[in-house]
Structure 1
Amino acid sequence: MLSVDYISFNNKLKNVNPKLKVLFATVSLFVAVLSKSAIVPLLISLIMIYLTLFKAEVPKKIYLTLLTPVIGFGLFNLVFMGFWYGNTSIISFEIFNITIGFKKEGLELGLLVFSRMLGGVTSTLFLALTTPMTELMYVLRDLKLPSIIVEITMMMYRYIFVLLDELIRMQQAQETRLGYVNLKTSYKSLGMLAVNLFIRTFEKGEKAYIAMISRCYDGELKSLTKIENPKLAYTLLVILFGIFMIILSYLTKYMKIL
């Protein structure tokens, strides 16, 4: 199974300047989340999906796996708001003498929330799936964030995959020994998995720390590469894109889709 980390190192946009991608994704994220119009976040979502799937060529199955829960939650939120908020009914029906209907104001608010959510998540996925975490950490360090925060973040990210790898190994070993053949055995295997997983990952962490100390680790992770600033023309293009989206959001503020 391909991981997010593997995809970030193996995509068609991997060699694009990471500072430019961070700027583009951040501008798009804030414009989408703060937009008063549902049109702009939806437009940003389409742009991000196009860049991620067709320019970066991220596997569609992996991308849909990551995006489907967000869409499902957004649609649930849209239906919920349509039921409970507003006064102007679009569709109504009775169940046990109780009138239930979709309200126009609630659907409009739900659509705005859904579009914001979709725009923000697709912007984040674009950055996560096209930019390796090591480069993102370098960009954060270049932005003068405290080194301790950057290093803790990097360590946490690294040990997510250590934990996941150990989990898969142990689960596969249990399955080969019929550890999940029935419900009772599954509960027992799950308990053993949780206990042993903590111990094994703790041991791996100690070994990794000893290895770092033996290589002159002094409390700061050194970066051997330097990322150049993006070209001024590309930076201005991203800024103009953000300004255009802000203007479009203002112009479509009172435009209703429903």
Structure 2
Amino acid sequence: MKYSIDTLAYNNNLKNVNPKLKVLFAILCLITSVISTSIVVPIVIFFVMSYLIIFKAKIPKKIYLYLITPAIGFGIFTLVFMSIWYGTNEIFSIPIFSFKISFHKYGLNLGLLVFSRMLGGVSSMLFLALTTPMPQLFYVLRDLKFPSVFIEMLMMIYRYIFVLLDEMIRIKFAQETRLGYKDLKTSYRSLGILAAQLFIRAFEKGEKAYLYMLSRCYDGKLRTLESIENPKLKDVLLIFIFEFILLILVFITKDIRIF
């Protein structure tokens, strides 16, 4: 729990930066990464976001690598799959027993593009998640005039993630003290009991929470008193200048291919 995403969002050097500014920056970088037709711009975005996360926000490198590794692994799998199945111009092949696995030019270029877009997009979202507490994101969504029902559902889901996580830790600890995970068979049985108990506890917690809210004059709307000021104009301009430079780079590098 020491290094959970929520804990890091409240304890980083960029937590006091205007959340509207961070949302704008992350979303624009994500869109730019997706529309790029070469690997250059998404890779640039990946390195910029990684620099901000590690050196500016001071998020531990091991935690960032732990979070980005699944995206890298999935991207490598996608790259290999696309290079084998897409295209006809063979670049090289690998013989395996009596089979020959061929890698094609079009598939490699397409796979590299998807891989780079994945890195750029995931790093943009990690920047937002690791530097911005969720309540601030809810306030931003409210200021953007998202439906109140949608925001309230997100708030309740966010709250009950931690309620269920706490219950899961308690139940699992109790099972472990009774050797509930001593072997594979017992582990499966304990896991089934854990899932069943969590379902029951979730229902009970939800009922209690609803009664608590009714006792405090809940009328179907969750009201918050905090508001977030708009970012400074110069900061917004800097972000748009940066994104404009990226768009120029997208146009310049649109025909660049590795193979």
Is this a same-fold pair by TM over 0.5? yes
* Aligned pairs (5 A) from 1:196-215: 196-215=197-216
**Structure 2 unmatched runs, 5+:** none
2:33 is matched with 32
Describe how 1:1-258 pairs up with structure 2 within 5 A.
1=1, 2-258=3-259
Look up the SS of the partner of 1:45 in the other structure.
helix
Rounded Cα–Cα distance in structure 1 between residues aligned with 2:171 and 2:61: 29
SS in 1 for 2:112: helix
C-alpha contact 1:42 1:118 (8 A) present in aligned 2:
yes
What is the TM-score normalised by the length of structure 2?
0.95
Q: Residue type matched to 1:147 in 2?
A: S
Q: Tell me the distance in 2 between the aligned counterparts of 1:207 and 1:89.
A: 63
Per-residue displacement from partner, 1:14-44 (whole Å, max 9, x unpaired)? 0000000000000000000111111100100
2: CA distance, partners of 1:99 / 1:184: 41
- Using the alignment, how far apart are the partners of 1:192 and 1:98 within structure 2? 46
* Runs of at least 5 residues in structure 1 that lack an aligned partner in the other structure: none
SS of the residue aligned with 1:16? coil
Give, in angstroms, the shift of residue 93 of structure 1: 3.3
Letter in 1 for 2:199: F
Q: CA deviation at 1:184?
A: 2.0
**Is the deviation greater in 207-216 or in 146-155?**
207-216
Partners in 1 of 2:91 and 2:201 — Cα distance?
57
State the 1:97 CA deviation.
4.5
Query: Does the CA-based 8 Å contact 1:37-1:250 persist in structure 2?
Result: no
CA-based RMSD: 1.3
